[in-house]
A and B are shown apart, each in its own frame.
Chain A
Amino acid sequence: MIFDWRFTLEITPMLLRAFLVTVEATLVGMAIALVAGLVWAILRRSRRRLLTGAASTLIEFVRSTPLLIQIYFIFFVLPEFGLQFAPLTTGFIALGLHYSAYTAEVYRAGIEGVPKGQWEAAVALNMGRYRMWRSVILPQALPPAIPALGNYLVAMFKDTPMLAAITVMELLQTAKLIGAQSFRYLEPLTMTGVLFLLVSLLSSQFIRRLELRFAVRP
């Protein structure tokens, strides 16, 4: 069986539409990861031992268990406790929470990179904790973290096909469906791979430029 270009052309619009769902899942997931990760990172700097310990354990646990099981957990277990989400929403939450464990580490590195004198200066100026984080620490901690966050955006993008396991009609699930209906898996799956490859390669180029832009100045 050889590669059928006409069939490929025929299914391309369907795949592109599904690709939008993939992009949507990535962007919403990343938005959650960016916010939640920052919360974990700040909690880890809290003065309360219990809070820092809980945040560290949670991050470690999320990072060392498979995303697929976490997706299943949110999809199958939470409804037993009255929390039921649509498949795509489940995907947003799972991707967002999973990657928040990674972004938290990135933020932590950024925060630890802020010189000690800056914290002391904020205290000396009698700033409240909120003012200190907002006006002194974060503006210095975040820019160096941007390229690493970009890498996790690409990693998350490549993890979205897992949502096919809970019937989200993203790229891979659509390719699978086309394959099942037409008995031709070669073209839809190859096109799926090509789309992922194109976007990943382009975005890693973009991240390389970000790295130059936000490189820490000595």
Chain B
Amino acid sequence: MDTLELMKNLLPGLKITLVITLSSALLAFVAAFAAGLARLSKVRLLRALALVYIDFFRGTSALVQLFWAYFALPLLGIELNAMTVGIVVLGLNIGAYGAEVVRGAVQAVPRNQWDAAAALNFTHATAMRRIILPQALVAMLPPFGNLLIELLKSTALVSLITLSDLTFEAQVLRASTLRSAEIFIIVLVIYFLIAQALNQGVKMIEKRFTLGRDYGVIE
């Protein structure tokens, strides 16, 4: 089996890795905004719920969360397949880190932007949507980019709950061919390239959002 053939054998795994990365990124994005904004809410219950979610997912290890959801949750009557567990757990995990990014970025928008919006008779919701978030989003993008890479790296963990992602396929291939060095170097390079591509993608979005802006950009 030559190197090209080894790579061909890794392709199905690569596809699963990409699907999980993108699906959980989407979930993480939604969770980050929901929890991050809830943390800033005036309703105490919402703030408390968001804090519990954030502390829980940031305080325990991602792998322990995956194992718990895959092996322990069925005993409580909730049985999910490995793919769902992987996407949901990783999404919620990174979402908890993202929530702090959202909170920090919204809080970093200068106070007088709120005052100006109030003076123009904007409701709280409209001010948030039209004035605050567009400015906060610019500050969120670089840390979101870092979290996306963290997410990509943590998808390797789903191989340990029997999902046949890139890491899993590499292990299978290693067991059958014993060409560890080649296989793992290929896999490391693939992850590295995906990370670079994601980085570039986030940079493009950053450029798009700061286009023509010479004010309101938070350093």
Contact = CB atoms under 8 A, between A and B. Distances in A.
Contacts of B68: 189-190, 192-193
Interface stretch (B104-112, B114-122, B133-141, B166-174): B166-174
Nearest to A194: B60
Interface string B135-169: 00000000000000100111111011000000100
Interface string B173-202: 010000011001101100110011001000
B157 A68 contact: yes
A189 B60 contact: no
A196 B191 contact: no
A197 B53 CA distance: 12
Interface residues of A, number: 38
A80 B56 CA distance: 41
Interface in A41-82: 61, 63-70, 72-73, 76-77, 80
Given A65-B191, A162-B157, A165-B160, A189 B174 contact: no
Contacts of A76: 174, 180, 184
A200 interface: yes
Interface string B52-73: 0001101111111101100110
Interface residues of B, number: 40
Contacts, number: 113
Contacts of A72: 167, 170-171, 184
Contacts of B187: 69
A159 interface: yes
B59 A73 contact: no
Contacts of B157: 66, 68, 162
A76 B159 CA distance: 17
Nearest to A80: B181
B76 interface: yes
Interface in A141-187: 158-162, 164-165, 172, 175-176, 179, 184-186
A63 B58 CA distance: 20
B75 interface: yes
A160 B61 CA distance: 9
A1 interface: yes
Given A162-B157, A185-B71, A189-B68, A65 B63 contact: no
A127 interface: no
Contact of B75 (A1, A64, A160): A1
A61 B76 contact: no
Contacts of B63: 161-162, 164, 172
Interface string A67-105: 111101100110010000000000000000000000000
Given A64-B195, A172-B67, A196 B59 contact: yes
A201 interface: yes
Given A64-B192, A69-B187, A80-B181, A186 B75 contact: yes
Contact of B76 (A1, A66, A184): A1
B71 A179 contact: yes
B184 A186 contact: no
Contact of A161 (B64, B170, B181): B64
A61 B192 CA distance: 6
A80 B182 CA distance: 11
A137 to B, nearest CB: 26
A161 B67 CA distance: 10
A164 B61 CA distance: 13
A204 B170 CA distance: 36
B72 A64 contact: no
Interface of A: 1, 61, 63-70, 72-73, 76-77, 80, 158-162, 164-165, 172, 175-176, 179, 184-186, 189-190, 192-193, 196-197, 200-201, 204
10 contacts: A64-B192, A66-B156, A66-B157, A72-B167, A73-B184, A76-B174, A159-B61, A186-B76, A189-B68, A193-B65
Nearest 6 interchain pairs by C-beta: A64-B195, A66-B156, A200-B59, A158-B61, A185-B71, A66-B153
